[in-house]
Amino acid sequence: MRQLPPLNALRTFEASARNGSFAAAGKELFVTASAVSHQIKTLEDYLGVQLFSRSGRTVELTPAGQQYLVSVKHALNEIEVATHRLTASKETNVVQISVAPNFLTRWLMPRMSRFREMFPDIELQINASVGLLDFNQSSTDMAVYYGGGEWDDIEVFFLQKVLLVPVCSPKLLESGHPLQVPGDLRHHTLIYVSTRMWEWESWFQVAGSEYITPKDSLQLSSSQLTTAAAQESLGVALADLTLTSREISSGNLVVPFDIPLDTRKAFYLVHQKNRPLTVAMKAFKEWLITEIQASDVYGAEHSGSLPGTGR
């Protein structure tokens, strides 16, 4: 037994707030401004709370109205997305994916042409984004997440562990101080991802060395940038071996110490729970998993604790 406000009035409320005007909202909803005014009044009477403050010919959301709007917008958006998903043809060839930036540029992009060869009919609409997304609020179909694999209310498929090794440009290795033991890093610039400052410290632990104070340090906001900086001879960064394998085999990057730090994080393919996948979505998912197994540098080389598939 629910206790809900007049729902149509909510639609009017949201449109009015969005447009900042009853008249404009009326235009959007194909009704007169008067109808909008009536609706808002009905809602305000029901709630017993003033949602808009009127002064002359302008209206403005009250603080209460603003707070309420956030939830109303969110809820209506969810309804809109769900309705669209239900209505839309089950057999579209378009797959919308959201991908962790580093994985996108260093892994997916280089292999896109292979995918398009295999599935010329499927159109991938790709979006780079860090962090989680709400599948109930977005038309995105699938995503590649970076993290611990512990996420609620979504289907999670393990793709690839992230093990970090130090990387630098070959030029740095020639011209600078030699790197024979981890401690030699004290004479170099260490490049940090600013949100993951501890990674170097952990790496030294694994390498069985004291944490050293580097000659210099550089903080960048993403692993994409730190790897690029290492390539530009700005210092030594920690990078995932698989993702940088092209740069390594081409000689743009070298690995001074083949000591991997297991971050216990990984890349995962995720999508909404209990959602029937389209043929295109299935194709992409299976291609991704197959392709990743073929490209995975670790697996055989460094056997670590087995990563779960995320609950």
Q: What SS3 state is found at 167?
A: strand
Relative orientation angle of helices 7-19 and 33-47, to the nearest 10 degrees: 120
Q: Which is nearer to a copy of itself, 11 or 186 (CB)?
A: 11
**Under 8 Å between Cβ of 240 and 230:** no
* Binding-residue pattern over the window 89 to 108 for DNA, x denoting contact by CB under 7 A: --------------------
Residue 243 binding result from a copy of itself, DNA, none, given CB thresholds of 5 to 8 Å by partner type: none
**Among positions 32, 71, 139, 290, the unique one binding a copy of itself when judged by CB under 8 A:** 71
Minimal CA–CA distance to 291: which of 96, 114, 95? 114
Q: How far is the CB of 115 from a copy of itself (least distance, A)?
A: 28
Residue 58 near DNA by CB under 7 A: yes
Q: How far is the CB of 55 from a copy of itself (least distance, A)?
A: 22
Site for a copy of itself in 175-234 (CB under 8 A): 197-198, 205-206
Task: Write down the number of H helices and E strands in the chain.
Answer: 11, 10
Residue 39 binding result from DNA, a copy of itself, none, given CB thresholds of 5 to 8 Å by partner type: DNA
CA-CA distance, 141 to 143, in Å (whole number)? 7
Residue 171 binding result from a copy of itself, DNA, none, given CB thresholds of 5 to 8 Å by partner type: none
CA-CA distance, 209 to 268, in Å (whole number)? 32
Residue 76 near a copy of itself by CB under 8 A: yes
Residue 22 binding result from DNA, a copy of itself, none, given CB thresholds of 5 to 8 Å by partner type: DNA
Other Cβ atoms less than 10 A from the Cβ of 159: the count is 24
CA-CA distance, 167 to 237, in Å (whole number)? 5
Residues contacting residue 184 through CB under 8 Å, at least 6 positions apart: 177, 178
Q: How far is the CB of 47 from a copy of itself (least distance, A)?
A: 6
Phi and psi for 48 in degrees, rounded to 5?
70, 25
Q: How far is the CB of 56 from a copy of itself (least distance, A)?
A: 26
Other Cβ atoms less than 10 A from the Cβ of 104: the count is 19
Q: How far is the CB of 87 from a copy of itself (least distance, A)?
A: 6
- Alpha-carbon distances of 292 from 106, 158, 250, 289, 295, rounded to whole Å: 13, 10, 20, 5, 5
Residue 11 near a copy of itself by CB under 8 A: yes
Stretch that binds a copy of itself, among 111-119, 130-138, 220-228, 285-293 (CB under 8 A): 130-138
Three-point CA angle 91, 96, 97, nearest 5°:
135
First to last CA, the chain: 33
Other Cβ atoms less than 10 A from the Cβ of 300: the count is 7
* Binding-residue pattern over the window 10 to 49 for DNA, x denoting contact by CB under 7 A: --x--------xxxx-x--xxxxxxx-xxxxxx-------
Residue 58 binding result from a copy of itself, DNA, none, given CB thresholds of 5 to 8 Å by partner type: DNA
Stretch that binds a copy of itself, among 31-39, 68-76, 165-173, 253-261 (CB under 8 A): 68-76
Note the residues at the interface with a copy of itself (CB under 8 A).
1-5, 7-8, 10-11, 14-15, 28, 47-49, 63-64, 67-68, 70-72, 74-76, 78-87, 131-132, 136, 152, 197-198, 205-206, 264, 274-276, 305
Note the residues at the interface with DNA (CB under 7 A).
6, 8-9, 12, 21-24, 26, 29-35, 37-42, 52, 54-59
